Amino acid sequence: MRPELDAALVRDFPRLYRDRHGDARETSMCWGFPGDGWEPLIRRLSEKLEPLAREFGLRASQVKEKFGALRFYVRSADGVRKLPASISGVVRAAVKVAEEESARTCEHCGAAGSTRTVGSCWLTLCDACLEREQDRRGRDRVK
């Protein structure tokens, strides 16, 4: 993700992303966020989770792409305390919506996309970004 988008997420959701620049031995947030195209999905999800971060100490522990879809992991402030079941259900439902939407959204530009294999990677891309990715990778075979 472009540095300015990354910085805006951290600025706008300071409790949720308080570990963004933390030590790699303690958090995977130090690796940042996936592609620019998913920033709106992550932002909408963050808008739902930031109030829970304030009230219950929720924090993002990792936000990444895996198998062509968004993966969003959270934990309690101390990593041990459990969230109330009703809150945990709200978090799971919100994350599921974002993850499902990511499988239909180009991770590079945010246009409608589909999950495809490029080389040995699964990526969710629109046709235009697929072309650019193939060029970047030396025209790997796509399925």
Kindly indicate the confidence band of residue 67, based on its pLDDT and cuts at 50, 70 and 90: very high
Kindly indicate the confidence band of residue 133, based on its pLDDT and cuts at 50, 70 and 90: very high
Residues 6+ apart with CB under 8 A from 28: 61, 62, 64, 73
pLDDT of residue 29: 96
Phi/psi region, residue 60 (left: phi>0; alpha: psi -120 to 50; beta: rest), is: beta
Kindly indicate the confidence band of residue 138, based on its pLDDT and cuts at 50, 70 and 90: confident
Kindly indicate the confidence band of residue 25, based on its pLDDT and cuts at 50, 70 and 90: very high
Is pLDDT at 130 greater than 90 in this prediction?
Answer: yes
pLDDT in tens, 35-55: 999 999 999 999 999 999 999
pTM to 2 decimal places? 0.91
Q: Residue 99: which of 108, 111, 91 has the closest Cα? A: 91
| Dist CA 63 CA 70 (whole Å) | 7
pLDDT of residue 141: 54
What residues does each domain of the chain span? Answer: 3-103, 104-143
pLDDT of residue 122: 95
pLDDT in tens, 97-118: 999 999 999 999 999 999 999 8
